[in-house]
Structure 1
């Protein structure tokens, strides 16, 4: 039964499309249904959606500080435009936003079981990684059949066996099933799938009898000190008792330690061989070693150099070859970054050296303009003062001129005469 305020699928398609530009945080398409995941342990109640009662999927927070799954709040709002918790009016376009980052981080860190658990995958992984695991790595994931004319699906682990969608007869019950389903039939459906072990009389699945023999307590097994000289063989359940009394138990720990050292030595030798191959490949066929001269700093930064023939690369697998390419590209990127930093420093110094004289000239021009402005202001004030004195004595000028002319006296003094007697001071 659907949770409250949750309409059926398809009833709110128009509303969802209408609100798509406004509601952020809508989940992207995923190969895994996050609502159907099985969580490892108990999920915190604060991370449970109050509508669907599962862990949040693309959580949305409202203006009233309530968090819901994106899909749940959109569907609930289509039925009733209120907050499903406090029943207050709610506008999705303006009163909702993506939940805080801390909520997303907590959800991503939840541990979940692989959705292919029913097919045999027992991996427990963080929820943020489950989609990538199912799409790329899980060998139980169903993928299209490799045969071009077959449209059915096959498990990823069986993709290298070719098309398995043909009829095959079960060797235990004579029933006909497709080859891809025959193993599942023999594991859980075949009526003759079980038999008793001939040694321990335990009921086992027929086609897994070889696996059972590796654990059967009655199977004949050599002593664990056989590599050091013990030739005794006995049932697996008596091995521990024999090991405590075995004559070679004294040299056993030393031999085991020596075997571990040999294994470590083998690993180190293999790494050394791989590094030698990479060095030879980079020196001879791959990327030439860069020159240390400054004139060739930018000349060896070409990222378009690739080996002409990848098949001749001295590596045992393509992964090793591409790893060498990655290391080479990484070194080139580092050299390019250092060269760019050096160029940036040079340009900064050139710019500083070119702008420094300009700044000095601007300072000198500002000083000159200040002096000129001071002179202009002084001259304007002096002119205004002179005009004020002339305007004050102008009413007596005609009479005085007439009287002086009648008496035969000289003309009034000129402005230049006054300036010569009393020169202005700056």
Structure 2
């Protein structure tokens, strides 16, 4: 499938909400009155009839039609309306529908709504208009027109037969003209072949059937879907590729898988399956690369200069036939490359964020031991400073004793030193000092007797 929002060659893309909002109102009126009705192969999507997913903000509701704004315009009195709603209301009464202020000329007194309002409207999620025919896609409102006009397989398109003026679903275009009568296999009623599937699913009186195993009622044409969900259908164990041969009903298989003897090798098998899937994806990339090269050569386009950097870009949805070009135009091809590179940039951004987080943790783990070492060094320096101060005090005490015992006159500085020494001598002495001055074997009484004789 080509990338979304890619205009085809020779066809104009359908107008978006922002494009409609930028057109002047007077020009829109002139085009509506003067231009002849165009023959559209696919009818345009009515944005007012869309079914929104969830509740729409009240600020995005048009005060006139009470649905989400379409091509919003804002008046000089700061009220927002749908463009067509305001034009219709102005033809009846040239005043603002909210505060009744006069609006003499719409082109001069109105302007497109701010881009923020248009972006909020484009981001609203809506259901596909072909939901009654079986399309369950939920898409942004800005992409619903492109989806319906180009990609939805339930959209009604003109019959490919040149002499048939009816419509068929897009998914049946390759089957040729289906507007002939066929018999329903369930009720044997004659209906057109194009409507046979809808008849079997919605209108056939015998379309429903009771399951022989579980008794549940299902549509006959959806029997295969019911078989894949029926709880009484006998299935094989999910570890059958690894050697388990047990078969039982689907509702009992869950209990068996929890205690299956082969569940131990299940993770290894899953890894092998992932490796096989990666190998298949790489082969598909290589095949698409060769097809892109052939496509560029056949169309006469010069390959990009950075082909070696784009060779690993996967282009999903390319046709399977190798003889046909994977894209209808050069613009589609390069736009697909751009979107793929944009997704790659997003993945690289997330990878860089993850790497940054890892580096932060590594720096944190490396700085923690450094902080512990710094704390230990600070504590060691504190202990060394304490010892140095104690040694300095001890040195000052020794100098004070020497000066006090000599009795020689001293200078004022020495007097201060004596005073300091005398003051320090009154301090309690440590046991280590006494042991240093009086080693073992020294008798204090001998020292006292010698002092009395003198």
Q: After TM superposition, is the score higher than 0.5?
A: yes
Give the counterpart of 1:318 among 314, 318, 325.
325
1:20 aligns with: 26
2:369 aligns with: none
Structure 1 residues 63, 325: CA separation in 2 closer, same or farther (over 3 Å shift)? closer
Structure 1 window deviating more from structure 2 (127-136 vs 257-266): it is: 257-266
Structure 1 residues 49, 250: CA separation in 2 closer, same or farther (over 3 Å shift)? same
1:140 aligns with: 154
Structure 2: gaps spanning 5 or more residues: 1-23, 306-320, 338-454
Alignment of 1:55 onto 2:55: no
Shift of 1:152: 0.6
TM-score (norm 1): 0.60
Give the counterpart of 1:89 among 79, 93, 102.
102
TM-score (norm 2): 0.57
Structure 1 residues 73, 284: CA separation in 2 closer, same or farther (over 3 Å shift)? closer
1:260-279 equivalences in 2 (<5 Å): 260-275=274-289
1:339-350 equivalences in 2 (<5 Å): none
2:49 aligns with: 36
Alignment of 1:235 onto 2:264: no
Shift of 1:317: 4.7
Shift of 1:245: 2.4
2:171 aligns with: 157
For residues 46-93 of structure 1, give each alpha carbon's deviation from its aligned partner in whole angstroms, at most 9, with x where no partner exists.
Answer: 111111111111112111111111111111111111111111111223
Kept after mapping to 2: 8 A contact 1:55/1:107: yes
Which secondary structure does the structure 1 equivalent of 2:213 belong to?
A: coil
Shift of 1:163: 1.2
Kept after mapping to 2: 8 A contact 1:61/1:68: yes
Give the counterpart of 2:82 among 69, 72, 87.
69
1:220 aligns with: 234
For residues 334-384 of structure 1, give each alpha carbon's deviation from its aligned partner in whole angstroms, at most 9, with x where no partner exists.
Answer: xxxxxxxxxxxxxxxxxxxxxxxxxxxxxxxxxxxxxxxxxxxxxxxxxxx
Kept after mapping to 2: 8 A contact 1:24/1:97: no
Kept after mapping to 2: 8 A contact 1:23/1:96: no
Kept after mapping to 2: 8 A contact 1:25/1:58: no
Give the counterpart of 1:197 among 194, 206, 211.
211
Structure 1 residues 274, 187: CA separation in 2 closer, same or farther (over 3 Å shift)? closer
Kept after mapping to 2: 8 A contact 1:25/1:70: no
Kept after mapping to 1: 8 A contact 2:292/2:326: no
Shift of 1:119: 1.0
Structure 1 residues 261, 199: CA separation in 2 closer, same or farther (over 3 Å shift)? same
1:175 aligns with: 189
Shift of 1:131: 0.6
Structure 1: gaps spanning 5 or more residues: 1-17, 292-313, 331-426
1:78 aligns with: 91
Kept after mapping to 1: 8 A contact 2:295/2:325: no
Shift of 1:269: 3.3
Shift of 1:143: 0.3
Alignment of 1:206 onto 2:232: no
- In the alignment, the residues of structure 2 paired with residue 37 and residue 251 of structure 1 have an alpha-carbon distance, to the nearest angstrom, of 50
1:101 aligns with: 115
Shift of 1:19: 6.5
Kept after mapping to 2: 8 A contact 1:25/1:59: no
Which secondary structure does the structure 2 equivalent of 1:154 belong to?
A: strand
- In the alignment, the residues of structure 1 paired with residue 248 and residue 121 of structure 2 have an alpha-carbon distance, to the nearest angstrom, of 53
For residues 187-232 of structure 1, give each alpha carbon's deviation from its aligned partner in whole angstroms, at most 9, with x where no partner exists.
Answer: 1221111111121121111122122111111112111111111222
Alignment of 1:130 onto 2:144: yes
Which secondary structure does the structure 2 equivalent of 1:122 belong to?
A: coil
